[in-house]
Amino acid sequence: MDARAPLLAVAFAFGAALPARADPPPDDRAVDLVVAGTREDATAVAEVVAELLRRFELRLRAARAERLDPAAVATPDPEAPPAVARVWIDLLPPSGNERVWQVAIYVVDGEWERTRIRRVAVLGGVDEVAREELAHAIASGVEGILSGKPLDLSHDELCHALGLSLEAAPPDPDVPPPEPVPVRVPPPPGGTPAPAVPHGNELEFDLSLGYELTGFADQTAISHGPFAALGVALRREWLRPALELTLQYRPTLAVEDDPFGVRLDQALFRLVASVAIPVASLLRLVIQLGGGLDVVWTEPTAAEGETARPAEPSTAYFGVVRAAAGLRVRLGGSFALLALVGCDIDGRHRSYVSYDAGARRMVLEPWTVRPLALLTFAFDMLDPLGDPEATEE
């Protein structure tokens, strides 16, 4: 027997005990991003996007282009590496409108089958606030892909939106190929990726606290008080439709007169529908219309030394119509500030009178149309990380 046989047998057994060396898996936990814009803007946007994608355990591969090539968005690249999503952003302002423009975002799924188009209003340049807005819009689209929800546009619909032929279009020869963009993202605490934080991106549930001032009557100019509200909104619609229920308490309103006065305690209920129209980055114009119920507890009072007895306390209910408009500013994350002006229209005329020796005397006559102003601080209870204030095609 060959003397080397025992050595070969031991070597074979040792080799079989070692784990097989597998080829590295494809980097399909990545998102490709192409930014059409300056090198400084592309790098800054890419870093914010990479930071947000860490919560989904995704890596960003970023590049910069001189300008957006629509054919590159709509035409699958057979040489492109696997990816969860492919994103294009056109940061370049249209000629002649350097102050305000709409930044287009295209989020394409990994199979290049469906696309979502978002447009984010930019005011005065791609500053830190605008970069955060754009990054949240991208993260929202990527999250939809990870959850298995189809994006909005098919390939044919995308070609129609971009004005392209349905046949595969070659890249524009006048557009240089994208160049890689360095992305510097600090490592997460502990050196491990942050876990994905799933949350719905269809509905927004707001808890709001605020204060309202209302013009009330000639006899007492202002009625005011705090309020709390619960609201629900569709966050992806251009007009951001919403419905809100408000409960408000008004401290005692007292009108002292001789011989009789009146004290009012009020609870106000309002149910309003609204639309919020984007006008700039993080800023929306809000229009509200609705109605509600005023519950009024009335206590007639008598002046000091008056021997006649006032009427008994009573409770009354009054229906009102409300119309208001104002601005909603997203402060960052899930917080927003809302300032509105408008009016309540009393559906039933009311007045409080006294009679002295048969003579009728007006004590308090609330206005039928009552102007109002309010300030509200809102928090989205379902999305503590915040979601974009973006528009969609």
Buried-state track 118-145, b at ≥16 Cβ within 10 A, e below 16: bbbbbeeebeebbbbbbbbbbbbbbbbb
In which domain, by residue range, is 112 found?
30-191
Domain boundary among 135, 161, 191: 191
Regarding whether 135 and 239 lie in a shared domain, the answer is no
Has residue 35 been placed in a domain? yes
Q: Please, how many CA atoms are within 13 Å of residue 142, restricted to the half-sphere of its CB?
A: 30
Sign of the CA dihedral 309, 310, 315, 317? positive
Is 22 a domain residue? Answer: no
Q: Does residue 124 fall inside a structural domain? A: yes
CATH code: domain of residue 217: 2.40.160.20
pLDDT value for 203 = 75
Task: Let me know if residue 314 belongs to a domain.
Answer: yes
212 and 315 both lie in a single domain: yes
In a 13 Å sphere around the CA of 252, the CA atoms on its Cβ side amount to 8
Same domain, 276 and 169: no
In a domain, 25, yes or no: no
The residue out of 191, 218, 250 marking a domain boundary is: 191
Tell me the one-letter amino acid at 31.
V
Say yes or no: 158 and 228 in one domain. no
pLDDT of residue 385: 44
| Domain co-membership, 219 together with 185 | no
Are residues 297 and 270 part of one domain?
Answer: yes
262 assigned to some structural domain: yes
pLDDT on residue 148: 82
Q: Of 385, 387, 333, 380, which is closest to residue 207 (Cα–Cα)?
A: 380
Q: Domain check: are 353 and 252 in the same one?
A: yes
Q: Alpha-carbon distance 92 to 126, whole Å? A: 10
The answer on 233 and 359 residing in a single domain is yes
323 and 374 co-located in one domain: yes
Q: Do 225 and 355 have their domain in common?
A: yes
Helix (H) or strand (E) holding 302: strand 283-302
85-90 and 100-109 strand pairing: antiparallel
Q: How much is the pLDDT for 280?
A: 67
Residue where a domain terminates, one of 126, 158, 191: 191
Is residue 21 one of the residues assigned to a domain? Answer: no
Tell whether 146 and 182 lie within a shared domain.
yes
pLDDT at residue 281 in the model: 61
Q: Tally the domains of the chain.
A: 2
138 and 256, same domain (yes or no): no
Residues whose CB is less than 8 angstroms from the CB of residue 155 and which lie 6 or more positions away in sequence, other chains included: 74, 112, 113, 114, 115, 166
Judge if pTM exceeds 0.85: no
pLDDT of residue 184: 59
Residue 5 included in any domain = no
Amino acid at 55: R
Q: What CATH number is associated with residue 34?
A: 3.40.50
CA 88 vs CA 138, 145, 276: distances in Å: 10, 16, 26
List of the chain residues with pLDDT < 70: 1-28, 95-99, 124, 166-177, 179-202, 235-239, 280-281, 307, 332-333, 357, 382-393
